[in-house]
């Protein structure tokens, strides 16, 4: 299973390719989940293009599509929520209260409906993967989770369904995110391990744009807690608001 919110692009296509390598049958889900939006206008602006999405699914050999309506997923008497403590209070969870309860609830329902052996997610939503990993472990769900690498545009911008909402100028400025992450990787490769120096390497690039930085942090890959010293496998996570649009990215230090 490859759970998505639609507005599919080549980043999603890469997830389908990974799924084909691991399983005989690949199911995609498309559902724009209102529970994970803490901003109603953001939910209303989320791009919907089901016909194009179906075409991409067919092109990439996806066998089945599950695309329920909101009423199907959450009836008028729906009253259940899945909450994972601790890891959901950080980063995106701190900035978007209730977001990960919405994610955990919908993914639990999708897993229950589809009963997948394997589920594939993208690295771009690194914290989301960590949250789902914790949920699957805690609830003894017999599902193997796979995190596939982030797919980027040729200029380095992480592919996202939100990118289409960026103005031409903002789209150009958004490149500072990946450029900042590469600057931090270069410093790490040169021997720098102090987290603040690596964080400042990212911030110094982004600060040259009009982007509002929500956070730039160096965290442990499993706990997502801040770490003062970097090592291979540590993750730099970034969230900015540009042109009124929230963009996230991350880089695993190597």
pLDDT in tens, 67-80: 999 999 999 999 99
pTM for the predicted model, two decimal places: 0.94
**The three-state (H, E, C) secondary structure of 74-117, written as one string:** CCCCCCCCCCCCCHHHCCHHHHCCCHHHHHHHHHHHHHHHHCCC
Q: What's the average model confidence in pLDDT over 32-56? A: 91
Domains and their CATH numbers in the chain: 2-148 (3.40.50.620), 161-252 (3.30.1300.10)
> pLDDT of 190-232, one tens digit each?
999 999 999 999 999 999 999 999 999 999 999 999 999 999 9
Residue 137 has pLDDT above 90, yes or no: yes
Q: Is 20 an annotated catalytic residue?
A: no
The pLDDT of 43-54, averaged and rounded, is 92
pLDDT tens track for 155-166: 999 999 899 899
Q: Which residue from 142, 88, 132, 85 is spatially nearest to 106, judged by alpha carbons? A: 132
> Which ranges of the chain would DSSP assign to H, the alpha helix?
10-22, 40-45, 50-59, 70-73, 92-95, 99-114, 126-138, 168-173, 175-189, 195-206
Classify 5 as helix, strand or coil: coil
User: Taking 90 as the threshold, does the pLDDT of residue 41 lie above it?
Assistant: no
Catalytic residue among 12, 60, 99, 251: 12
What is d(CA 124, CA 230) in angstroms, rounded to the nearest whole number? 20
């Amino acid at each position: 299973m490859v759970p998505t919110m639609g507005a599919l692009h080549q980043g999603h296509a890469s997830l389908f390719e990974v799924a084909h390598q691991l399983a005989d049958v690949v199911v995609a889900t498309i559902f724009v989940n209102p529970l994970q939006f803490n901003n109603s206008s953001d939910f209303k602006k989320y791009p919907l293009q089901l016909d194009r999405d179906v075409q991409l699914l067919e092109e990439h050999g996806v066998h089945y599509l599950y695309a329920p309506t909101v009423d199907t997923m959450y009836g008028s008497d729906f009253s259940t929520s899945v909450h994972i403590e601790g890891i959901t209070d950080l980063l995106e969870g701190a900035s978007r209260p209730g977001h990960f309860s919405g994610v955990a609830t919908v993914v639990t329902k999708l897993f229950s409906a589809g009963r997948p052996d394997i589920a594939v997610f993208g690295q771009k939503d690194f914290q989301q993967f960590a949250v789902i990993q914790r949920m699957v472990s805690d609830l003894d769900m017999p599902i193997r989770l796979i995190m596939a690498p982030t797919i980027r545009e040729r200029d380095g911008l992480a592919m996202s369904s939100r990118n289409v909402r960026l103005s031409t100028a903002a789209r150009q400025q958004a490149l500072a995110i990946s450029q900042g992450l590469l600057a931090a990787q270069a410093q790490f490769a040169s021997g720098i391990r102090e987290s603040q120096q690596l964080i400042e390497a990212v911030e110094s690039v982004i600060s040259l744009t009009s982007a509002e930085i929500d956070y730039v942090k160096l965290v442990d890959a499993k706990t997502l807690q801040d770490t003062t010293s970097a090592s291979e496998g540590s993750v730099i996570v970034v969230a900015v608001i540009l042109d009124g649009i929230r963009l996230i990215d991350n880089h695993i230090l190597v």
